[in-house]
Structure 1
Amino acid sequence: MKIMQFRLEFRSVDSSDIGVECPFLPDAGQYERHFNYIVQDICNFDGVVSAVALNAEAVFVRTVSLDLSEFKSLLKPALQHHFQYLRIVKIDEVEVDL
């Protein structure tokens, strides 16, 4: 069994994101609500053992038998669903301490 861990960093939509696909800034409080929704979405992915939010900006995700590419494939629809409210800054694979 291969255990992988990823660290995801998010940010709120800001004025630099305004465009055709995102014409308005979200209302106050919507970022945190959608951040929590995406953490819940990640918890429901096949192969995800846990998703722990450190604050309203980062999530540690532990998976079984998912490499980074596979995890990104699962993550893409969730990110698209929450596109009006948050952006992913980066995804890193981190060492697993067992």
Structure 2
Amino acid sequence: MKFRVTFRNISAADLSAQCRFIPEPDKFEMYLNAVAQDIAGLEGIADVSIEGDRALIIEANADVPALEAKLKPILQHNFEFLRWVRTDEL
């Protein structure tokens, strides 16, 4: 199955003890690439590609809840750099 996972920049509303600063907007692509590489290394992930400047297309043998469970540790690790918005099945 294919999925689109969409992300956004950190905003002032996201600032907290776990996210103390707003990363430079021009570094968002770098963080998205790093997340894509981490996801590509997960078991059960067949392919990961970047779509536009805010989304990843992920091919995996999973449904949306199972995929999100696989992604959770990576998203938590990158919590201070970008935010997950949604996961859509394509």
TM-score (norm 1): 0.84
CA deviation after TM superposition for structure 1 residue 24, in Å = 1.0
- List gaps (5 residues or longer) in structure 1: none
Give structure 1 regions of 4+ aligned residues with deviation exceeding 4 angstroms. Answer: none
- List gaps (5 residues or longer) in structure 2: none
Aligned partner of 1:22 in structure 2 is: 19
TM-score (norm 2): 0.90
**Whole-Å separation in 2 of the counterparts to 1:52 and 1:31:** 16
**Whole-Å separation in 2 of the counterparts to 1:28 and 1:89:** 17
Out of 16, 34, 39, the residue aligned to residue 37 of structure 1 is: 34
**Whole-Å separation in 2 of the counterparts to 1:29 and 1:84:** 15
Q: Which has the higher helix share?
A: 2
CA deviation after TM superposition for structure 1 residue 55, in Å = 1.9
RMSD between superposed Cα atoms in Å: 1.2
TM-superposition CA deviations, 1:19-66 (whole Å, max 9, x none): 2211111134332211100011111111111111012201111112x2
Look at both structures and tell me which one has the larger radius of gyration over its CA atoms: 1
The count of corresponding residues between Structure 1 and Structure 2 is 90
